[in-house]
Structure 1
Amino acid sequence: MEIFNQEEQEKVVQAISLAENRTSGEIRLVVERKLHGIEAYEQATAYFEKLKMHQTLLRNGVLIYLATDDHQFAIIGDSGINDKVPADFWESTKESMLAYFRQSDYVHGLIAGIEQAGEQLAHYFPRRDDDVNELPNDIYFG
């Protein structure tokens, strides 16, 4: 059974594209059913490395990780964005997402997180004329 149907995937990818149209930052989403025997943050960190998110020019990549069956998720920002956002930003973003996740509405929870990350990225890293999309916008299914 799929985690998201085609329409749901398109909504999430569209949210990523819209967010990235306003910023030089990069947003990636990793979704899988179960953790691999470690905490969500550690799993997200492993994917951050695997997907080469630390190799963006301005170090402004954001990874959202979700393990649906284990009801765990994490958000990781690279050093470029982490140095700029308020200290409680990722926690408040997670709270916004959790409101949807508690109702098993993963799609709108992910979209809320993508939109909030996108707003911060657009504020601190506005899109430039020479901006290139450094990473794919699709959902990475682990």
Structure 2
Amino acid sequence: MFALFRKKAVNFFSEAEKEHIHTAIQQAERHTSGEVRVYIESHCSYVDPIDRAAEIFYNLKMNATDLHNGVLVYVAMKDKQLAIFADEGIYKKAGDSFWTEEVKHMLTHFNKANYAAGIATVVTEIGEVLHAHFPYDPHTDKNELPDEIVFGK
């Protein structure tokens, strides 16, 4: 017999903060066919967080949305790295400047240690641009991906 030891998951957010982010995801998706996911982990296993965000995006099958309008908000808390990775359908429609500004908005909050608020704000703003380009159609739209925050290592 042997014991399996696992590293205890780091809890970066209070339950209220988790709920704030989760609610922002649900509200962002309420008016769009687009999908938003948030992935939080301690350390980024790559030098460039965009590469890690891309890996997670594909591992979570976010590229399988019908209209290619999924967006991943990625944060490596201890490494202080972040990225937003958007599928081609929404990335092109929103344009490079939108995504750059969203990263700046998150950094503004993060520099004040307002991590949950920064994530929720960016999720809300992503929801607005998704709504503008991919409005919700009650006859055809469905929630294609889970709304819960994904916590990595």
TM-score (norm 1): 0.97
1:34 lines up with 2:43 in the alignment: yes
- Please say which structure displays the higher CA radius of gyration: 2
Offset of residue 87 of structure 1: 2.6
Aligned partner of residue 83 in structure 1, secondary structure? helix
Look up the equivalent residue of 2:143 and give its one-letter code.
N
Q: How many residues align?
A: 142
Match of 1:113 among 122, 131, 136: 122
Aligned mates of 2:108, 2:70 — CA distance in 1: 24
Offset of residue 32 of structure 1: 0.6
1:77 lines up with 2:86 in the alignment: yes
Aligned mates of 2:89, 2:46 — CA distance in 1: 29
1:58 lines up with 2:67 in the alignment: yes
- Computed over aligned residues only, the root mean square deviation of the Cα atoms, in angstroms, reads 0.9
Offset of residue 37 of structure 1: 3.7
Look up the equivalent residue of 2:62 and give its one-letter code.
M
TM-score (norm 2): 0.90
Look up the equivalent residue of 2:15 and give its one-letter code.
Q
Where does structure 2 lack aligned partners over 5 or more consecutive residues?
Answer: 1-9
Look up the equivalent residue of 1:60 and give its one-letter code.
N
Aligned partner of residue 58 in structure 1, secondary structure? coil
Offset of residue 5 of structure 1: 1.8
- Match of 1:17? 26
Where does structure 1 lack aligned partners over 5 or more consecutive residues?
Answer: none
Aligned partner of residue 63 in structure 1, secondary structure? strand
